[in-house]
Amino acid sequence: MENHHHHHNHNSEALLASSLQGFRSEISKILNKILPISEPETEVEFQFLSLVWIQKCVDVIPLINRAFAKLVVEIDHPMNKWGKSQIEEYLDYSLSLLELLNSVTSGVSHLSHAKLCISHGLSLIGKNSDPLVVLEHLNEIQPYDFGKELKVERKMIPENEESPCTGKDLIVRRSLWILMSVSSWIFGVLLSGICSNDRPYIELRKSAGLFDDSLIRGWDTILASEIAENCGVSKEAKEINEVITGLKEAVANGNVDEFAIDLKRRLEDLEELMQKIGKKTNDLFSEVLAERGKFLDSLKHTRK
C-alpha cells in the first residue's frame, strides 16, 4: 500500500514538471509569434525599435496571462487552494502590470504633446509667420524621463515559512516568476520606445533578471544592443527629428514645402500608432483590473 502511494506521488511530480515545461514552451511560442525576430523567407530586417514592432509588445501580456490561467486549470490548483505567498505574488504581479500600464499611458501622452507642439509649428509655416516664431515651435521630440526608477520587486519569501513551497504551489510560483520576468522585459522595451529613453529598458531588464529570465534571452541579446545604440529612441521619433532639423534649415532659406509635407505625413502616422497603443493599453488595463477584482472577490468567499 505504502509503496503504491509513493509511486503515485512521484508520478504526479513528473506530471507537474511536464505541465511547467508545457507552460514555458507556450510562453516561448507566444513570444515568437507576436515578436518575430526574423523571417528567413523574406530576408526582412526587422526594425525592432520601430513603434510598429514595439506596439506589438502589448499583445504579449493578455496571451501569457491566459496561458497561466490555463496552466492553473490543467494542474487542478484553483486559486482558493493556493498558499498565502502565491496569493501575494499573484496580487503583486497584477498590481505591477497596472502600474506599468499607467507608465505607458503617461509616456504616450508625453509623445502626443510633443506631436501637438510640432503640428502647431507646422501650421505657422502655412501662415507665412515670422521664421523666428516658427523655429521656436519646431522642437525635436525629447527623451521622456519618469523621474523615478521603474522596477518590479521580488518579494523575498522568509525561509522559516510554515511549509516550504512544494508541488502545485511551486508550479504556480515558478510560472508567476516567468510572467513577472517576461512582463517586466516587455514593458521595458515598450516604455523605452515610447519615451525615446533607454532607462526604462535598463531598469526593467534588471527586474526581469530577478525572476526566471531564461525565456527572453534570445530577444534580449538583439534588443539590448539596438537600444544601447539608439539610446532607446524609436525609428519614428528619430526620423521625425531628422526632418525637423532639415525643416529648420529650410525655414531660413524659404524652401520648406518638401520638408513640411514629409513631416505632416510622419506626424499623421505617429498619431495613428499612438492611438493604437493608447487603446490597447486602456483595454489591457481594464482586463487586468477586472481579473484582479475577480481574484479578490473569490478570496473573500473562500477565506470566510
What pLDDT does residue 203 have? 94
What is the model's pLDDT at position 300?
A: 84
CA torsion angle for 274, 279, 280, 286 (degrees, to 10)? Answer: 140
Low-confidence ranges of the chain (pLDDT < 70): 1-11, 38-46, 156-164, 303-304
| Chain Cα centroid distance, residue 267 | 23
**How much is the pLDDT for 1?**
46
Encode pLDDT of 144-173 as tens digits. 998 888 888 877 655 445 556 778 999 999
Q: In whole angstroms, give the CA distance from residue 193 to residue 187.
A: 10
- How many whole angstroms separate alpha carbon 281 and alpha carbon 285? 6
17-20 LR contacts (CB < 8 Å, sep 24+)? 19/71, 19/74, 19/75, 19/171, 20/71, 20/171, 20/174, 20/175
pLDDT number for residue 3: 47
pLDDT of residue 2: 44
Question: C-alpha cell of 176?
Answer: 508567476
pLDDT number for residue 11: 62
Q: Tell me if 296 sits within 8 A of 87, measured CB to CB.
A: no
